[in-house]
Structure 1
Amino acid sequence: MSAFSYKALDAKGKMVKGLLEGDSERQVRSQLRSRQLKPVSVTESNEKSAKANDKNTPFYANWFKPRISQSDLALVTRQLATLVQSNMPLDEALTATAQQARKPRIKSLILQVRARVLEGHSLAYGLGDFPLVFNEMYCSMVKAGEHAGFLGTVLEQLADYTESSQYTQQKLKGAMIYPIILVVLSVGVIGILMVFVVPDLVGMFKHTNQKLPVLTQMVIATSDFFTEKWWLVIVFMFALVISAQQFLKSPARRKVWHGLLLKMPFISGLVTSMDTARFASTLSILTSSGVPLLDGLRIAGQVLSNLRLREASKSVAISVQEGGSLHRALEQAEVFPPMMVHMVASGEASGELETMLTRSATNQQRELEMTLGNLMAILEPLMIVVMAVIVCTIVFAILLPIIEMNNLIT
């Protein structure tokens, strides 16, 4: 049984759209007619994702694959967890969750997962068909919950984790709003000065025989460039972005770039805190859900965005597989924060590794917020100073010829 999207006319001739489950297009059309609807088009909802890492897939292909926001994912997970914990059969729980979804995309997604379950597959298998929505960690936890018989509890943990991730993302976006607004305003003010104000004010100097100061000549040349060839700036910026994307497609070059990020002041702390907090939190949830530690290390390593840190997590997994302790392996990697290593060592000694990993993730999250706050505290006045210097340069470039003319007159 699959999900079908349809367009039909009601008794008043109004076009209606929706989703229905059925064994075939013909059956769905029969269902529409039984509801006093005249089918216009019925198509199978083919949102099944291809492999996200297919090398032959164009870079723009992922734009059209199904995905939902973190808030929607948390809500769906919470609803499904509540229904499963109430001992409702899984297919009925998925149906109820789809019915509660307000967005057609989410409803179609849940119905397609339900279709996989009705075919005899596990929930984890059905979710795995949509890797851009349900990542490997999500599917692994669901699989562990299904095997252990604690699916409802695992879904509750996933909902908590997703909500926590959403909160972190919102804080990061909120912290970036003011700097972005400041940059846009700065560029806008300087652009207006260079394109509209400067040509009018310095135009009178072009008709005199007076030799203009070098600073004034530079400002006039810059103004002329932006006025006449502004499109070159747009082309250059676009080419720069495309070139950077193409350059970073190579894993070797991307690894070098990620290594440089770990050496930059402030940036290194931001990247390390963000990734290690995600790593510790993911590993904690996986191990507490019954996923073996080695599998948990492999999956948690995949959530690391920095390739240098991801490579270090692989060496940690290899060291643990060879019989070493987790805290010793983290210490030998030399990229994980010392506080995290000490807390893991304490958790291994006391038998409360999951708890200490959770505390370590919380600690890294606080450090991330502090690092971000310090970065913004430096960036905001720096941007104001840069804007002030540029504006003052333009003003001096205009005033210098006027002062020289007054000196000649007197």
Structure 2
Amino acid sequence: MPMYRYKGRTGRGEAVNGRLEAESADAVAQQLFNTGITPIDIEQSEEKQAGEGIRHQLLRPKPKTDDLILFTRQMYSLTKAGVPLIRGLRGLIESTRNEILAEALEEVVELLESGRDLSGALARHADIFGPLYVNIVRVGENAGNLEESFLRLSQYLQLDRDTRRKVKSALMYPTMVVAAIMIAIGIVTIWVIPAFSNMFATFDAELPLPTRGILAVSGFAQQWWYVIVGGIIGGLIWFRWWSRTDTGSRYWGKWKLKIPAIGDIVLRATLARFARTFAMCFRSGVPLVQALTLVSRALDNNWLGDRVANMRNGVERGESLHRTARAAGIFTPLVLQMIQVGEETGSVDDMLEEAADFYEREVEYDIENLSTIIEPILIVFVGILVLLLALGIFLPMWDLATVAF
């Protein structure tokens, strides 16, 4: 994605500037608004050359979630112990192993020394901390309980990381099995079947239809293998690019929820993330409309995120949260019940935490039993392939044996 330079002002009228990586200038403006900055000027930066981009990716990797979790835990310990922010941050800079995060913290210290607040300084690096992180810190600053904000953020980030890893592990097994099957099919098509083709050429008889089909596919693969390989690689590159565009990410976000066995796990993991993120925002005192905006951008599914963001319209019209959630059409009855009971009892955050725990336990259970769900499907698929190959290869041999006897 391209890099943009921006200039803007905080809610206190202070001038800020920095750089953000986003798909468009509108996306940059939206990120700035979400962090409490009013953009004045946004322009695309052309400083990032190809060599520099590779160097940043390989030699200077961006901070990972683990780096952010460690930093947040350390900030919780420092603020709870009453260590001054500037002194504590200087100590963290010396112990931070990620260079980009260390440079960002150095700039945060400079901004704090110039009189700016911590949330405003972190907002200058929204590509690292994100709108959700910045807003929770801002709420903690205004309420005078910054250590509690860092505690909730560290817990949220750790749970979110664990959920992501579980979903990735769920997708890893079927992906590896399908890849192994495709490689095996390629080897059989290009090297094994041609050996039988030479033998079939000596037959003075018409080959069965399955055999002719297999030989035709094998001959095409032998002659145009580089086109097939290039098409597969090109298709994967195109899909990776397309899935990162605004339109592609929304379509892919919707389609992947319909994948048999996998889609339901992804949906429940996303709903768990919605429930936990929204509960944290609600409990931290973030305004409801702003919380919906932040949650919609934290879901990692633009199709679901759009529907959560659209809930703001109903809330702004004065409708209840339960009614707008039902109208969104993406939540299960469990989440809707939790929201309704939470509104009636005044404990929406507690109810959503319970819903998040329930979904995370279900996701963990389904992941552990995913192999038992997918194995029958893969066995049927492999069985069909073996049957086709057996018919194509052995039918002519059986015919030859019949003629011989």
Same fold flag (TM > 0.5): yes
Give the counterpart of 1:276 among 237, 251, 271: 271
Q: Deviations over 1:277-309 (max 9, x none)?
A: 222211111121121222212211222344443
Give the counterpart of 1:128 among 116, 123, 137: 123
Deviation at 1:105, TM superposition (A): 3.8
Q: Superposed, which structure 2 residues align to 1:305-316 within 5 Å?
A: 305-316=300-311
Partner of 2:294, secondary structure, is helix
Q: Superposed, which structure 2 residues align to 1:34-183 within 5 Å?
A: 49-55=19-25, 64=56, 67-183=62-178
Partner of 2:337, secondary structure, is helix
Q: Does 1:399 align with 2:394?
A: yes
Q: Deviations over 1:244-273 (max 9, x none)?
A: 456567645654565555666656534432
Q: Superposed, which structure 2 residues align to 1:223-372 within 5 Å?
A: 223-244=218-239, 251=246, 255=250, 258-259=253-254, 266=261, 269-369=264-364
* Residue of structure 1 in register with 2:35 after alignment: none
Higher-Rg structure is 1
Partner of 1:207, secondary structure, is coil
Q: Does structure 2 conserve the Cα–Cα contact (< 8 Å) formed by 1:269 and 1:368? A: no
Q: Does structure 2 conserve the Cα–Cα contact (< 8 Å) formed by 1:274 and 1:368? A: yes
Q: Distance in 2 between matches of 1:177 and 1:323?
A: 44
* Residue of structure 1 in register with 2:201 after alignment: 206
Q: Deviations over 1:342-374 (max 9, x none)?
A: 112212222222211211222233344456567
Q: Distance in 1 between matches of 2:66 and 2:230?
A: 36
Structure 2 letter corresponding to 1:362 = D
Deviation at 1:142, TM superposition (A): 0.8
Aligned length: 362
Q: Does structure 1 conserve the Cα–Cα contact (< 8 Å) formed by 2:75 and 2:150? A: yes
Q: Distance in 1 between matches of 2:106 and 2:351?
A: 38
Indicate the RMSD between aligned Cα atoms, in angstroms: 2.9
Partner of 1:203, secondary structure, is helix
Q: Does structure 2 conserve the Cα–Cα contact (< 8 Å) formed by 1:141 and 1:286? A: yes
Q: Does structure 1 conserve the Cα–Cα contact (< 8 Å) formed by 2:62 and 2:98? A: no
- The share of aligned pairs that are identical, in percent, is 28
Q: Does 1:190 align with 2:185?
A: yes
Partner of 1:133, secondary structure, is helix
Q: Deviations over 1:302-348 (max 9, x none)?
A: 22344443333233222222222212221233322221121122122
Structure 1 letter corresponding to 2:346 = G
Q: Deviations over 1:128-161 (max 9, x none)?
A: 2333321111110011111111111111110110
Structure 1 letter corresponding to 2:123 = G
Q: Does structure 2 conserve the Cα–Cα contact (< 8 Å) formed by 1:266 and 1:371? A: no
* Residue of structure 1 in register with 2:30 after alignment: none
Which shows bigger deviation, 124-133 or 292-301? 124-133
Q: Does structure 2 conserve the Cα–Cα contact (< 8 Å) formed by 1:320 and 1:329? A: yes
Structure 2 letter corresponding to 1:209 = D
Q: Distance in 1 between matches of 2:90 and 2:147?
A: 16
Structure 1 letter corresponding to 2:183 = G
Which shows bigger deviation, 137-146 or 198-207? 198-207
TM-score (norm 1): 0.78
Q: Distance in 2 between matches of 1:191 and 1:265?
A: 25
Q: Does structure 2 conserve the Cα–Cα contact (< 8 Å) formed by 1:51 and 1:131? A: no
The answer for unaligned runs of 5 or more in structure 1 is 1-47
Deviation at 1:276, TM superposition (A): 2.3
* Residue of structure 1 in register with 2:8 after alignment: none
| Structure 2 CA distance for partners of 1:225 and 1:121, relative to 1, 3 Å | farther
Deviation at 1:168, TM superposition (A): 0.8
| Structure 2 CA distance for partners of 1:53 and 1:257, relative to 1, 3 Å | closer
Give the counterpart of 1:219 among 214, 217, 220: 214
| Structure 2 CA distance for partners of 1:106 and 1:270, relative to 1, 3 Å | same
Give the counterpart of 2:383 among 379, 382, 388: 388
TM-score (norm 2): 0.79
Q: Does structure 1 conserve the Cα–Cα contact (< 8 Å) formed by 2:276 and 2:356? A: yes
* Residue of structure 2 in register with 1:27 after alignment: none
Structure 2 letter corresponding to 1:52 = A
Q: Does structure 2 conserve the Cα–Cα contact (< 8 Å) formed by 1:216 and 1:398? A: yes
